Chain A
Amino acid sequence: MNALIVAGLLLVLLGVAYQSGWSRSRGLVTADGVKIHSRPQYHGSFVAIWAMVPTLVILGLWAWFGGGITRDYTVSLIPTDIMMSLDQVGLNAAIARIGALASGYGVTGESPAWEQAAGDALRSFQMLTFVGVLVLALVAGGAALVYARSRINARLRARNAVERVVNLALLACSAVAILTTVGIVASLVSEAFRFFTFIHPFDFFFGTVWNPNNAGSAGNWGSYGLLPLLSGTLMITAIAMLVAVPVGLMAAIYLSQYAPAQLRAVAKPMIEILAGIPTIVFGFFALVTVGPFLRDLGNLVGLSINATSALTAGIVMGIMIIPFVSSLSDDILNQVPRTLRDGAYGLGATQSETIRNVLLPAALPGIVGAFLLAVSRAIGETMIVVLAAGNAPVLRGNPFEPVATITVSIVNQLTGDTDFTGPQSLVGFALGLTLFVITLGLNIVALYIVRRFREQYE
């Protein structure tokens, strides 16, 4: 409700400011036919920006510090004799109750007189501060508006000023990317370090047993060895690559070198549909169709294959990555210069000989880069593995058995409750950091290789 009022008033201020700048600028034009530097829209925007900045700064400051001030005030409302009897939890509960009384929602049971009084006082305080801050913000905005309007004259370089602000806003938007990376690294590293205060990094990175004690307390946290998860991850990734690379690469070769135009026009988008299917759908497909099929197939040939196993997850993940491999390879094959191919044809090579002996070796670095990107994607894939890999964090080499991966364990350990107090949930961040570092490393190497490859033929 309050947010709506604030947003509405801001819009009104914005409109009024723009309009006043615009009309003043029009007035300049009609006055004596002078040439003005900027068009009226820029004068309008100029005044609007001037009016919005102080308003938003004041509202922002209140949004940042207001909560703390309100809390301090609430604490001061609690009588001292009661204050003495409260511990931290009790204090928080009392603050919450007073807040509920003030808002009138979520009040349960009877409350003592001092709480009622505190609630009433808090309500009037909240009302007062809300109106006060709003009025202050609007007055500041209005003052800025009047000042900016008074500055408007024919020579004012309003366009340049507005464009500078636009430029800054655009820069701020692209800085979001940096902020995201900083946020990821900071949260992963800080929480992972907290994890390492419970479990020694050596035990984490080189431990061979994964057995977190989810109900554990100090002394028996359980074991948090990364190796079983890493081996499961690598096994599934290897199987996925065995499926995706041959199929994806051959599909790309056929589509770019052999396929008639009509087939290419149909098959390429069809394969790209695979890339758009959510991974949870692949997971379901693996769990209810591929897994049982592989188990029955195993029974037929006398192999014991679990329905949920590294093989199931790996194959389906491979299917998921096919379009990724094929579209990347397609790009790369198309970048090999025609002259190389024509030279091979001129020497009498058949089409497949040209592809195998000229095209592929020339494109090899690029294809290796694509391969690494695909590996990084497979390592970070979550839902297929959560559903179809069986979640058995044991160090073993049999692909027919259930395994667990880094991503599965992150999902298992961070189940949505976020009191990050013990290693049970904090380990999620240590695993996330490991995952982030591995995929980042693979990406950097892959992008470097691909760029080198492109430069070679430019």
Chain B
Amino acid sequence: MTDTLSTTRQASIERTQRIRAGLRRRHMGETIFRGLGLAAIVLALGFVALLFVDVVRKGIPAFTQSNLHLAVNFDPELLQVDPAPTRTAFASQAEYNAASLKWQRDVAMLNWNKVVEASLRTAAPADIEIDSRQILSIAETDARHDIREMFVADPSLLGRTVEVEVLASANAANWIKGNINRSLGDAQQQLSAPARALIDTFVEDGTISNGFAWSIFTNVDSRAAPASAGLLGAFVGTLWMMLIVIILAVPIGVAAAVYLEEFAPRSRLTDLIEVNINNLAAVPSIVFGLLGAAVFINYMHLPISAPLVGGLVLTLMTLPTIIIATRGALQGVSPALRQAALGMGASRTQMVFHHVLPVTFPSILTATIIGVAQALGETAPLLLIGMKAFVASVPLTPLDQATALPVQIYLWQGNENRNFFEPRTAAAIMVLLAVMILLNGVAIYLRSRLEKRA
């Protein structure tokens, strides 16, 4: 009797131990699983942080530019040109215009590089030995255009000396910022040894100073003068496309959603439309680019590289997003509102347009902004409709050649002057992300404000 009792107790103790051991194992498993989950979150957030830190760290230096302060002497020796024509000397406006144009052509034919070189030599120490190609490599190639334009605007400068600020060349900027390894041998440097020494002297005596790079925002893209390459053209191109997307995608998208959600009878046609929209939302963006190339450009002969075509392609891409989001918003409207409106004798259309849509306005607005922000960052379809062409002007109409911010990023990252354009690409990315964050911020702000009021 006692025997069996002790074996039972024994067994019970063993079982307890087994359970305890098992529990410890299971709790260990629990902790590990939980840790894995946390690790996944940390990893995902780490990637966000890493990406932002990396882009910002690379991009910040590009927001400073090296400016050359030169005392430019408009030396009559170098600038042998007739005095600018004056209006009073001519009988008619047309004759004056013709003479003025001829004079401007003459001015353009002068060797302005000599003027730039002379002012660089004035700034340099007197005993320096450096040939003209080397010394000119310090200033950006468009310095001569800037100085020429000053002269055209004010011909009385001839013979005078003026303080002028021009950009240092991209290679000089690389050297100053340390974007290029300073200990590399002459063969691997883009600038000759005397030019590098002179740059250092200039930095010391203040001839070269660093300032905020307004050129990124105020200039268009440039190949000949990389240091002055800016985002203005791409930015305006993007604005045109966003305008087209907003004008087309928002009304059509909201109308389609309203129809499908409020009016559509359950029929094969509406089923087909619904399946279509769901599938279109998942079609790769590059396929929309193919559609644009084949239909808009090859078939309808719309101009290549134009924001109009880009905007149309992005509209088709954004439509499903807006439709799906708007339908979600419409589904969220309480049935009480609809029944109340119908009960008061409103027609279906009146119920939708006078009561349901105003209530969903904040959600539709948010969805629209988020959809537009998505379209803003799209690159691949634009490449296929020719928007990766080099465009050095601001598109004044949606039919002009243009590029877009993300495409400009793509173009800059492929530039051969890696040392200079890698920071500049990162800076362009910062601008793009800033615009997107701004848009999303506006969306969140508007939603919270409008919802509070409603």
Residues of A within 8 A of B (CB): 159, 163, 166-167, 169-171, 173-178, 180-181, 183-184, 187-188, 190-191, 246-251, 253-255, 257-259, 263, 267, 270-271, 273-274, 276-285, 287-289, 319, 322-323, 326, 350-353, 355-356, 373, 376-377, 379-383, 386-387, 407, 410-411, 414-418, 420, 428-429, 432, 435-436, 439-440, 443-444, 447
Contacts and interface: CB of A to CB of B under 8 A. Distances in A.
Contacts of B380: 279, 382-383, 386, 407, 411
Contact of B286 (A258, A322, A380, A418): A380
Contacts of A355: 33
Given A322-B47, A380-B286, A407-B380, 14 more contacts: A171-B259, A173-B252, A175-B273, A176-B319, A184-B287, A254-B41, A255-B41, A263-B41, A278-B379, A285-B51, A350-B30, A352-B29, A416-B389, A435-B284
A187 B432 CA distance: 32
A183 B280 CA distance: 12
Contacts of B440: 276
Contacts, number: 264
Interface stretch (B88-96, B182-190, B297-305, B446-454): B297-305
Interface of B: 26-27, 29-30, 33-34, 36-41, 43-45, 47-48, 51, 54-55, 58, 251-253, 255-260, 263-264, 270, 272-273, 276-280, 282-291, 293-295, 297-299, 304-305, 316, 319-320, 323, 347-349, 370, 373-374, 376-380, 383-389, 406, 409-410, 413, 422, 425-426, 429, 432-433, 436, 440
B168 to A, nearest CB: 24
> Which has the most chain A C-beta neighbours within 10 Å: B251, B284, B377?
B284
30 contacts: A171-B264, A173-B252, A174-B256, A176-B256, A183-B295, A188-B291, A188-B294, A250-B40, A270-B48, A271-B41, A274-B47, A276-B377, A277-B377, A278-B379, A278-B432, A280-B406, A280-B410, A284-B429, A319-B47, A326-B44, A350-B26, A351-B30, A376-B282, A380-B284, A411-B383, A411-B384, A416-B305, A416-B386, A420-B294, A429-B290
A281 B433 contact: yes
B321 to A, nearest CB: 12
Contacts of A414: 289-290, 293, 384
A377 B37 contact: no
Given A166-B349, A267-B41, A288 B290 contact: no
Contacts of A270: 45, 48
A163 to B, nearest CB: 4
A250 B36 contact: yes
Contact of A447 (B251, B259, B278, B433): B278
Nearest to A282: B51
Contacts of A323: 44
Nearest to B349: A163
> Which has the most chain A C-beta neighbours within 10 Å: B27, B54, B380?
B380
A436 B287 contact: yes
B249 to A, nearest CB: 10
Contacts of B386: 416-418
A417 B376 CA distance: 23
Nearest to A432: B290
Nearest to B418: A288
A310 B51 CA distance: 20
Contacts of A276: 370, 373-374, 377, 436, 440
Given A278-B379, A380-B284, A418-B304, A177 B320 contact: yes
A428 B380 CA distance: 13
Contact of B379 (A253, A279, A289): A279
A15 B338 CA distance: 31
A177 B316 CA distance: 8
Contacts of A279: 377, 379-380
Given A280-B377, A281-B429, A163 B347 contact: yes
